[in-house]
Homo-oligomer: A and B are copies of this chain.
C-alpha cells in the first residue's frame, strides 16, 4: 500500500505513475541558474502601441531569436517567470471558454490541469527534464520515476471565463522518500487568494515497481532549487491537506459503475492521467449536491495505476460526522450549529476501484459549500 508517511521503501507498490503530471516533482539542474524571466510585463504592453502593420517583421525577429537558441517562441510569449530568488515560479493563465462548466466557472479539472502546466513550466524554466517527467539524471540512470501519492486542492473562488488566474508554485523534499510541490492561486486582476494546493510524489523503481528511498545524489540534485526553509501552501496546523482518508466500505450511498477511460484520457505512456480521476470521483456525486453546492476541497490518495482497458467503479458516501472535530472547528458551539454546518458544507468519502476485482485505485475526500449567489 502506498502510505506516504509511513511506508517501507521496499513495499510492493500497487500504485503506478500518474504520468500526466510532468514537472511536478522537484526541479533540478546541476547548478543554480540565474532566474530567467520570460514574462511579458503588462507595463511594457501598456506603454507600447502594438504595431500590427509590422507584424511580419516582428515575427521574423522572433523566429531569429528562436532559431538562435535563446529561447523557444513559447518562452517568449508565456506569461510566466521565476521569482527573483529563483525559488518559485509564477504564471498567469486566461480561463478559456471551453474550460468552464455548468456553473459558468472553471471546472476543478481545468484548475488541476493548470497546476500540472505551471509545474511543468517551472521545471522547464530551470532547464531540466524536458521529457516532461521531471526525473533527475541520477533517477534516469537508475530507472527511477516519480509516482503521485497524494493531491490536495482547495478552491475558495472559482474563476470565470476570461478571468486571469495567477499561479505560484515551488517544490521541496518530503521526508526521506518523497518530494512535494505546493501552489498558490490568485485572481490576477485583484491579487485575491482563490486557491491553494499541494501534491506528494514518491520514487519508484520502474523495473521492480517498488518504492525506493530518495538517495543523497537525487536529493542534492533537487535541493538546489528548493526554498532553504520549508514553505508550505497550508502552514496552518491540522489543515485538510494532512487529513488521513479512511477507506470507504460497501455499500456506498452513491455510485457510478463501469466508467471507462477514453482515448483522450491517456498520456503518452498509455496511463490514465491524474485529472481523469478527479472527474471520475465527481461522477458518483448526487445530482442535488452538484446543483446546489460547489467543490471546496478535494484530496486524492493514488494507489494503483489505471490503463486503457480498465473499467472503474466510482463510489461516494457522506463522511461520518466527527463530533469532536466539528465542535473544535466551531470553538465549542452547540449541536445545532454543527448540524447546519454539515448540511451547508457536506463532506464525502470516495473510492475508485477496478470493477472486476474491487482493487483500490484511489481513495478520496471532498468538501462542498453552498454555491455563491451570482
Nearest-CB distance from A334 to chain B (Å)? 36
Chain A residues bordering chain B, tally (CB within 8 A): 82
Nearest-CB distance from A81 to chain B (Å)? 6
Q: Which residues from B are CB-within-8-Å of A65?
A: 46
Instruction: Answer whether residue A52 sits at the interface, using C-beta atoms and an 8 A cutoff.
Output: yes
Q: Which residues from B are CB-within-8-Å of A43?
A: 51, 54, 57-58, 61-62
Instruction: Answer whether residue A330 sits at the interface, using C-beta atoms and an 8 A cutoff.
Output: no
In the complex, are the beta carbons of B77 and A77 less than 8 A apart?
no
Q: Which residues from B are CB-within-8-Å of A29?
A: none
* CB neighbors of B among A167-204 (8 A): 188-191
Nearest-CB distance from A1 to chain B (Å)? 28
CA gap between A59 and B53 in the complex, in Å = 28
In the complex, are the beta carbons of A264 and B189 less than 8 A apart?
no
In the complex, are the beta carbons of B78 and A97 less than 8 A apart?
no
B76, B113, B164: the one within 8 Å of A77 (CB): B164
Instruction: Answer whether residue A100 sits at the interface, using C-beta atoms and an 8 A cutoff.
Output: yes
The 10 closest A-B pairs by CB, nearest first: A43-B58, A42-B62, A74-B162, A97-B120, A44-B48, A37-B50, A98-B113, A73-B189, A74-B94, A96-B117
Add 8 more A-B contacts to A77-B92, A264-B282 (CB < 8 A): A41-B48, A42-B62, A44-B48, A46-B62, A100-B268, A102-B263, A107-B264, A262-B280
